[in-house]
């Protein structure tokens, strides 16, 4: 059983990557990725794990205050619920912001049906840095706000849209700051940033549970189908979800280990080596249905999920998850700093310039 945005009770076995639905050539591609990832990053392996110490290459600094300003700017539009004026205005702002960094921006607009059968507008936004480079890395996050604060302790608020400072804006803010920094610094390969829409419009807690998981991650599913159709093949992907909440801790999500364990190992070891061991915890977490899942299963891109696994809270995603308390006041720039700097190190550790 897979539970959207909740750790489940599945066993935490480190199984071989699942290649469901792949042809033999695609399996060979994934195995080649596993072999070359460690070689290109300059690390040694020991019984299938990354090295304790990784040679760090020069990487630019991630500016947490800038990322925080991007969180506040998104929230200033109001909840970015699909179909709302805030949704349209924020999407236009995201397009312009990525363009201001010199990215080649494209978007796909479509209409997808929600859990209640009602159509929802979808805007997936892709920003490509150094678009002529063949070798590429994928960084993703969702930008929509949940239409219902159905986890709020006050049940009179359950039909109120979520401000989505953490669950949406924080991941996009980290991507924006990464894009600004990378564009100013340069790379020997390309980076694709994708803002997924309609991630957070799954069946509300108070509605009848149909057992249907497909209403979550609608935007990334649609994007993955298109990516598979054109044979889009970045080296790997990293999805960011709720990467700014106070007290956040990031354990290693189950599907990430299943489909892209080398990337998981490298990210967590880099984070710890950079001094962010308070946030990157070497511990197995449950399996989460998130935007990385269609990227792995439909587009066949090895992709991990950086998502909180907080112990002792009402939700493993932290106390503000799907509540009206998910506001900029509850964002910790130090958490975004840990995630953003670790990913910049990951990217620049393989820079050949």
DSSP E strands in the chain: the ranges are 104-113, 119-129, 136-142, 190-196, 237-240, 250-252, 280-284, 303-306
Does the residue 148 lie in any domain? yes
Q: What is the mean predicted confidence (pLDDT) over 261-275?
A: 97
Residue 323 within any structural domain of the chain: yes
Establish if 15 belongs to a structural domain: no
Flag whether pLDDT at 341 surpasses 60: yes
Query: What domain range includes position 49?
Result: 24-348
- For residue 10, name the pLDDT band (cuts at 50, 70, 90): very low
What does the pLDDT read at residue 209? 64
Cβ-based burial of 153 (10 A; exposed 0-12, middle 13-18, buried ≥19): exposed
Contact by Cβ (8 Å): 84, 164: no
pLDDT in tens, 216-258: 999 999 999 999 999 999 999 999 999 999 999 999 999 999 9
Structural domain count, the chain = 1
Asked if residue 6 is part of any domain, the answer here is no
Q: What is the dihedral of CA 82, 86, 87, 92, to 10 degrees?
A: 160
CATH number assigned to the domain comprising residue 29 = 3.40.630.10
Residue 6 has pLDDT above 70, yes or no: no
Report helix, strand or coil for 245: strand
Domain assignment present for 5:
no
Report yes or no on 124 lying in a domain. yes
In a domain, residue 321? The reply is: yes
Residue 207 has a pLDDT of 83
Q: How does residue 29 score in pLDDT terms, banded at 50, 70 and 90?
A: very low
Evaluate whether residue 10 is within a structural domain.
no
For residue 139, give the nearest of 118, 150, 153, 125 by alpha carbon.
125
Dihedral angle over CA of 199, 203, 205, 207, nearest 10: 160
Across 24-38, average pLDDT: 43
Distances (CA, A) of 211 to 216, 303, 328: 12, 25, 33
Summarize the confidence of residues 101-114 as an average pLDDT.
Answer: 96
Q: What is the pLDDT of residues 186-220, one digit of tens each?
A: 999 999 999 999 999 999 988 876 665 679 999 99
Residue 51: predicted pLDDT: 52
Tokens describing residue 55 = 């040679």
* pLDDT digits 0-9 by tens, 112-164: 999 999 999 999 999 999 999 999 999 999 999 999 999 999 999 999 999 99
33-84 pLDDT tens trace: 444 444 444 443 333 444 578 899 999 999 999 999 999 999 999 999 999 9
Residue 269 belongs to what H/E stretch?
helix 254-273
Nearest to 253 by CA among 293, 216, 305, 315: 305
């Amino acid at each position: 059983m897979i539970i959207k945005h909740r750790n489940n009770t599945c066993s935490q076995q480190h199984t071989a990557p699942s290649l469901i639905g792949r042809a033999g050539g695609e399996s060979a591609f994934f195995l080649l990725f596993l072999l070359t990832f460690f070689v290109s990053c300059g690390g040694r392996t020991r019984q299938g794990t990354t090295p304790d110490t990784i040679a760090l290459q020069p990487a630019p600094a991630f500016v947490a205050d800038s990322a925080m300003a991007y969180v506040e700017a998104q929230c200033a539009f109001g909840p970015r619920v699909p179909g709302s004026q805030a949704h349209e205005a924020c999407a236009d702002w995201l397009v312009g912001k990525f363009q201001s960094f010199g990215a080649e921006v494209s978007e796909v607009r479509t209409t997808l049906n929600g859990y209640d059968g009602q159509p929802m507008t979808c805007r997936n936004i892709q920003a490509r840095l150094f678009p002529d480079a063949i070798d590429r890395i994928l960084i993703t996050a969702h930008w929509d706000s949940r239409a219902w604060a159905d986890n709020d302790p006050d049940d009179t608020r359950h039909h109120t849209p979520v401000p989505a400072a953490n669950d949406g804006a924080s991941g996009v803010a980290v991507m924006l700051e990464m894009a600004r920094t990378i564009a100013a610094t340069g790379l020997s390969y390309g980076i694709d940033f994708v803002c997924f829409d309609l991630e957070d419009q799954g069946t509300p807690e108070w509605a009848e549970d149909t057992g249907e998981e497909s209403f979550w991650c609608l935007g990334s599913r649609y994007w993955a189908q298109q990516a598979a159709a054109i044979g889009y093949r970045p080296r790997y992907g990293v999805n960011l979800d709720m990467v700014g909440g106070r007290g956040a801790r990031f354990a290693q999500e189950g599907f990430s280990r299943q489909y892209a364990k080398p990337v998981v190992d490298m990210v967590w070891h880099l984070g710890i080596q950079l001094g962010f061991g308070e946030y990157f915890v070497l511990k197995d977490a449950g399996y989460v249905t998130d935007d990385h899942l269609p990227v792995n299963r439909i587009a066949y891109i090895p992709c991990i999920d950086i998502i909180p696994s907080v112990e002792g809270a009402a939700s493993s995603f932290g106390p503000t998850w799907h509540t009206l308390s998910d506001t900029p006041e509850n964002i910790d720039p130090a958490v975004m700093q840990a995630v953003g700097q670790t990913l910049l190190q990951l990217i620049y550790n393989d820079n050949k310039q």
